[in-house]
Chains A and B, each alone.
Chain A
């Protein structure tokens, strides 16, 4: 026992020394900035390899997408000698935003941050958190008109500043298993009525469905309200704009009824996108409404004749946008360098054009549509064109207000109650309405 205790104590001492003084040991293939103990912002402005200025870039891309980000960063770093971008995966959009918020308080914020499109508002609400990119854009000759309006309109603030640039942006589309439709002599639906009848034609209780939609994502719910002809938040930004005209009820009830009839598979709370996508690839349903960013995955996994179509329209044809945008934090001491990388991403074919074309995200500038990687993707997979064509119907103006980030959880609770618990739609809307009003009161 004495011997074991001695060994344990020795190990503890050794490990303590190793842990405390750790310099990170094996360098993590260019990622991470080395193991100096607890550096605050003023210490972070240090040199990377070869005396280059480091810019910390936090992103939410893992797996293959993470590899693409790494490749992009590698391309940028190898093209110049002044700046080294250090890209680190920080979890999903929610986790990354939470970390950035807490990191700000202790001087550990990144310079450049990838944020979910709906999460930018969380930071944008507070003054002085996000750097104004307008001066940089003016200097680079970039104008609002150069960008796809649906992806940038909400980043132009009332005071004339610009707080974010699109990065991996997307809209929902409808993936169609044409083989399954052909067996029943059906075509891809173009409106809600056709979607309902086509989906019901395939429904076999608990075995097969007509359409699959991932759960736990608010954008489908913004979409269904807009397609019903409504506006999620009213013009005065005091509450729900889709209550009195009944469009929220109409849209939510449509999806609930489709689900209850067995024609729709609504994804689970977690891993929803991957579960529903897998089921589509296993041919459990012929119609799958999901992000265009899933195109590469569907293309790789589909053993059947598939196509991409626009999402069926309701009274109006509207699709929301999603994906991620990039912001520079005001606390950064490397804003110029961070912008240099951002500009490179916008303009260089090895930047965002390379990234979006390998994943299926949509090009966010007009120049990017014409770039070589995007054109190559269009040649390889003409389905991608449908996503680009649908952009003309993309709009978040009905719901993307500065406080939207604060409401997302409440909206998801409503969705969960309606879809998983089959609760009364009007009752849930009545519960949601005051929460939205409360959230909108925040400055």
Chain B
């Protein structure tokens, strides 16, 4: 009798979940479908291509120096991720566990940075990069992002939940500050680190506006600009090729998410250390 009572709400729950999944998955599925269609098929509403056109991926890849764009994207994103780890972690630790003059003001500045969109800062940064003779390099796409305000904020919240007793115990074992941060605090924050890195990766991997403004020659352009150049400004748009290009862009993110998803869930469901 109890089982029978449960079936209806469970079924409704499953239907709702499937519906939500479909709503979120549909754009990706549609993109994948378009990437395998012919040009003619894209002009009418076609859910499944008659014959998958894998050639579209080759066409997208060979339409420009995509190996160069990919290399640039990888270099930019990896450099940012690595340096952010070096800067963010000690900064968050200091904000969480130390009291010093100007701490609150500095943290407020971090929050201000968090809330300031890049569209506001691009012009002064562009001039700075011009003055420093860095415009014809990858640095304008890296330097402004070497620190991560969101990361500092999230890690600080995590660090604040770690009991001071753990740190005192480590000090009693003659651990220095660097050891405490990287051997004691950081391992307890794997979910937060994964989240920050994944969000940062997605952010910078997908960035279009900043590279558009900071680059004037092809040699320093990332993948996003290569994909954008697939789309005609006037005339017919080969959506199949554009979507194939987008699939190439999105694939690394999907792969990384598959591996990091459980950490992200943990990060947002963190309930404190026992």
Q: Which of A's residues lie within 8 Å of B, judged by CB? A: 1, 5, 8-9, 11-12, 15-16, 18-20, 22, 24-29, 31-40, 56, 58, 60-66, 86, 88-92, 95, 98-99, 102-103, 105-108, 110, 273-274, 277-278, 281-282, 291, 293-294, 296-298, 300-301, 359-360
Contact = CB atoms under 8 A, between A and B. Distances in A.
B87 to A, nearest CB: 11
A360 B182 CA distance: 62
Nearest to B208: A91
B235 A108 contact: no
B68 interface: yes
Contacts of A91: 212, 228
A19 B82 contact: no
A18 B220 CA distance: 12
B216 A90 contact: yes
Contacts of A9: 82, 86
B75 A39 contact: no
Given A12-B83, A63-B238, A274-B237, A29 B126 contact: no
A108 to B, nearest CB: 6
Nearest to B69: A28
Given A25-B71, A62-B233, A99 B216 contact: yes
Given A8-B85, A35-B220, A18 B75 contact: yes
A107 B212 contact: no
21 contacts: A18-B75, A19-B75, A20-B137, A20-B139, A26-B65, A31-B65, A32-B218, A35-B220, A38-B134, A39-B133, A40-B133, A62-B230, A63-B235, A86-B217, A88-B217, A99-B212, A108-B216, A278-B43, A293-B234, A294-B236, A298-B236
A26 B139 CA distance: 18
Interface string B182-211: 110011000000000000000000000000
A359 B235 contact: yes
Contacts of B166: none
B173 interface: no
B142 A19 contact: yes
B137 A35 contact: yes
B55 interface: no
Given A19-B139, A63-B238, A65-B235, 4 more contacts: A15-B78, A19-B138, A24-B217, A28-B64
Nearest to A29: B65
Contact of B218 (A64, A88, A106): A88
B16 interface: no
B28 interface: no
B235 A22 contact: no
B229 A89 contact: yes
Contacts, number: 180
A279 B235 CA distance: 14
B111 to A, nearest CB: 27
Interface in B115-137: 123, 126-127, 129-137
Interface of B: 39-40, 43-45, 64-65, 67-68, 71, 75-76, 78-79, 82-83, 85-86, 123, 126-127, 129-139, 142, 182-183, 186-187, 212-213, 216-220, 228-238
Contacts of A298: 236
A293 B216 CA distance: 26
A5 to B, nearest CB: 6
Given A26-B68, A105-B127, A359-B234, A12 B82 contact: yes
Given A1-B187, A11-B78, A28-B219, A65 B233 contact: yes
A106 B68 contact: no
B219 A296 contact: no
Contacts of B134: 37-38
Contact of B233 (A22, A92, A107, A296): A92
Contacts of B213: 98-99, 102
A89 B85 CA distance: 34
B232 A28 contact: no
Contact of A24 (B39, B83, B126, B220): B220
Contacts of A86: 217
A416 B71 CA distance: 41
Given A12-B86, A63-B229, A19 B68 contact: no
A168 to B, nearest CB: 8
Given A1-B187, A106-B126, A64 B76 contact: no
A395 B83 CA distance: 56
Nearest to A70: B64
Nearest to A359: B235
A62 B78 contact: no
A117 to B, nearest CB: 13
A34 B220 CA distance: 9
Contact of B234 (A32, A35, A65, A98): A65
A229 B103 CA distance: 67
Given A24-B220, A35-B219, A64 B232 contact: yes
Contacts of A11: 78, 82
